[in-house]
């Protein structure tokens, strides 16, 4: 956590789309965490993928970056921890240390599996919502991992059933608990649901059938005001 020379209020640096879409799953999870805690954002600074100088003050190459008073916090997991520690009297994101430890699993699962997996279905379509320079940047930086992005769309329908099947443990848990965290959603829910929100914002390709319990759960959590 660095100290911020331009301190004051609460500012969130998030990804910019051409048309006001939420194109960062990591930004969206911070929005959900802030809302859960009842904390407002004074300013949202939208930056393109290529606008690295806009977040250089935070020594970061990625968004989200939260400036909260005189604190600069980089990385959504760290932001969640910062919010939990700084605002302990607000509704909890983790429900204690054990909940935080288990939520870390979901942070890793999202980072290592869910987000790249979802990207393989929607990344090519996401190019429609970013400008020319960002498009070139995404193509160049994602090709080593995904290959040519248009090829992904040729195989995605055939890959979908395996993806949906891999969500069975998540689906069953949500069915049994209501949310991952139980009756009240917490950070694990926000991290996972935000990834589905990103997919919806980026592409018309449906990852979940509308009768899937994960669909209604994700819609509820990402809705402008969720229970
Ligand atoms: N672990 C980071 C990941 C953040 C991340 O990957 N952000 C993407 C946007 S969704 C980004 O800024 N990418 C910039 C780039 O690819 O150069 C977090 O949880 O905040």
CATH of the domain at 54: 3.40.30.10
Indicate if the pLDDT at residue 90 is higher than 90. Answer: yes
In terms of residue numbers, what domain contains 160?
A: 97-222
Residues 122 and 207 occupy one common structural domain: yes
Mean pLDDT across 148-167: 97
Residues 197 and 141 occupy one common structural domain: yes
- Residues of the chain with pLDDT > 70, as a percent, come to 96
Residues 70 and 118 occupy one common structural domain: no
Ligand 1 pocket: which of 62, 79, 127, 146 to mutate (most atoms <8 Å of CB)? 62
Q: Cα(223) to centroid of ligand 1, in Å?
A: 23
Q: Are strands 2-3 and 71-74 parallel, antiparallel or unpaired?
A: antiparallel
Give Cα separations from 226 to 112, 135, 184 (angstroms).
27, 33, 11
Residues 127 and 53 occupy one common structural domain: no
Residues 55 and 102 occupy one common structural domain: no
- Answer whether residue 160 is part of any domain: yes
| Spatial CB neighbours of 113, under 8 Å, sequence gap ≥ 6 | none
**Could you identify the atom of ligand 1 that is nearest to the CA of residue 23?**
10
The whole-number pLDDT of residue 6 equals: 52
Indicate if the pLDDT at residue 7 is higher than 80. Answer: no
Tokens 């959603």 locate to 185
Residues 19 and 115 occupy one common structural domain: no
The whole-number pLDDT of residue 125 equals: 98
For ligand 1, atom 12: residue with the closest CA: 62
Where is the domain boundary, 57, 86, 115?
86
- Answer whether residue 61 is part of any domain: yes
Indicate if the pLDDT at residue 155 is higher than 90. Answer: yes
Residues 120 and 214 occupy one common structural domain: yes
Query: What residues line ligand 1, using a CB cutoff of 6 Å?
Result: 15, 24-26, 49, 61-64, 75-77, 111, 141
**Could you identify the atom of ligand 1 that is nearest to the CA of residue 25?**
10
pLDDT tier for residue 37 given thresholds of 50, 70 and 90: very high
On whether the CB atoms of residues 218 and 226 are closer than 8 A, the answer is no
Give dist(CA 142, CA 148) in Å, integer: 8
- Answer whether residue 92 is part of any domain: no
The CATH number linked to 153 is: 1.20.1050.10
Q: Cα(212) to centroid of ligand 1, in Å?
A: 28
What's the structural domain count of the chain? Answer: 2
């Amino acid at each position: 956590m660095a100290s911020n020379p331009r301190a004051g209020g609460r500012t969130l640096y998030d990804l910019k789309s051409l048309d006001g879409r939420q194109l960062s799953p990591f930004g969206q999870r911070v929005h959900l965490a802030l809302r859960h805690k009842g904390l407002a954002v004074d300013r949202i600074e939208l930056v393109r993928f290529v606008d690295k100088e806009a977040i250089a003050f935070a020594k970061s190459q990625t968004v989200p970056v939260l400036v909260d008073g005189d604190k600069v916090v980089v990385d959504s997991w760290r932001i969640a921890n910062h919010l939990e520690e700084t605002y302990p009297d607000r509704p909890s994101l983790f429900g204690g240390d054990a909940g935080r430890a288990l939520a870390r699993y979901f942070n890793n699962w999202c980072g290592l599996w869910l987000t790249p997996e979802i990207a393989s279905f929607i990344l090519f379509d996401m190019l429609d919502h970013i400008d020319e320079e960002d498009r070139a940047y995404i193509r160049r930086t994602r090709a080593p991992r995904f290959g040519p992005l248009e090829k992904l769309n040729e195989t995605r329908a055939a890959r979908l059933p395996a993806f949906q099947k891999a969500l069975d443990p998540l689906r069953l848990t949500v069915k049994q608990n209501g949310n991952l965290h139980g009756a009240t959603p917490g950070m694990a829910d926000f991290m996972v649901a935000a990834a589905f929100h990103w997919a919806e914002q980026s592409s018309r390709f449906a990852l979940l059938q509308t009768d899937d319990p994960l669909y209604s759960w994700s819609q509820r959590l990402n809705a402008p005001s969720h229970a």
